[in-house]
Amino acid sequence: NVRLGGLGPDYEAVKEKVEKLRQQKEYAKQIKERNMKNITSVQKLPAKPKVTTSVSRQKALEYAKKIPRPKTFVTRQPEEEVKDEEVLSQILRRNHLPQIASLETLQERHEKEKQVVAAFRTLHIL
């Protein structure tokens, strides 16, 4: 008595699966109802008064008011740094910067180097 598969759908297997799913849903519904009843009974218990926490907080606030605050220390710069900053600020206010003595020599050097670069460009080295 061996039954081989056919070409069409197996309605008996589908019915068994549908019945199994229906039973699972029914069981889940029963468990949910039971849990809801348990939750309502737990919620009916009286809550503890929270008066002790407010009293301890008040004590802590009073204690904090009585403690002296720490003094803040201001760090001072050394006198040399202060003098240097004053000199720089005065120079910048006047827009007067000290002249470089060798400015003319630097300009001459720059002109010579420009000529050397121009010579290299004419030779296509650069």
* 92 three-class SS: helix
Q: State how far the Cα of 49 lies from the Cα of 36, in Å rounded to an integer.
A: 26
Give strand ranges (E) for the chain. Answer: none
Give the per-residue pLDDT at 18: 96
Eight-class DSSP state of 1: -
Query: 71-95, pLDDT tens digit by residue?
Result: 777 666 566 666 767 766 766 666 5
Tell me the whole-structure pTM to 2 decimals: 0.30
Q: Pull the structure tokens for residue 88.
A: 């720089």
Low-confidence ranges of the chain (pLDDT < 70): 1, 3, 5, 41-53, 74-82, 84, 87-88, 90-101, 126
Cβ atoms 126, 117 nearer than 8 A: yes
